Amino acid sequence: MPRDFDLFKARLYTFVDTAYLNGRDPADVARQLCAGGSDLIQLRAKEWPEKEVRVLAERIVQITRGAGIPLVINDFPRIAQEVGAEFCHLGQEDFFEGSYKTTNEVWAGYPQGTPQIGLSTHAPAQAERAIAAKPAYIAIGPVFATATKPTANAVTLEYVRWAAASVRIPWFAIGGIHLGNLNQILEAGATRICVVSAILNAPDIALACKKFRARLED
């Protein structure tokens, strides 16, 4: 973990999502995300075989580590641990249907110095159950409908308001967030956001990140 990194101070969580590469080199995407001021970067490769995700993670972690930005590996705890990523992100099904009760159980049998765990949540009851498992952070969403999760129902701003009033660990609003609706998210009480398509579909990824950062820090 970068020495001065503090999740509570993080604002912009971005993604190298292989579904949005559009022919670009994922390593170059990672460099642009770093240059734009991302606080965390997640590698998400939903349709890729684990072996290929591992190879890509080894490339990306060299870039994020050089920039002093924590890397999050989606779905693959073993890859996160083996490449030295700072975090691993798991969905509700991956974690709770995997019979885990606490995040420490994910690392049973692994050496010390393992990544921290982030968990997805889609409702207050899920958030409460997730928090009891002691993750480093939780994600709140999808706030708006999003092509990234086409089968997921939007949780609406009411869930964001609930999180702002109730959640005491770091949490990130996620799902369909773009510059046009960002004010609604912030007014509902969010201070940390995850952005996927609004950044990865932009012609200039670094510039898109900077625009979000400017709004978050305004």
Pairwise CA distance, residues 161 & 178, whole Å: 18
Q: For 43, list phi and psi in degrees, rounded to 5.
A: -95, 115
The CATH architecture annotation of domain 7-217 reads Alpha-Beta Barrel (3.20)
The tens-digit pLDDT sequence of the chain (218 residues) is 887 899 999 999 999 999 999 999 999 999 999 999 999 999 999 989 999 999 999 999 999 999 999 999 999 999 999 999 999 999 988 898 877 889 989 888 777 668 999 999 999 999 999 999 999 999 999 999 877 677 678 888 999 999 999 999 999 999 999 999 999 999 999 999 999 999 999 999 999 999 999 999 98
If phi > 0 it is left, if psi is from -120 to 50 it is alpha, else beta; for residue 99 that is left
* pLDDT score, position 113: 64
Q: How far is CA 139 from CA 39, 63, 87, 118, 159, in A?
A: 15, 24, 13, 7, 11
Question: What ranges do the domains of the chain cover?
Answer: 7-217
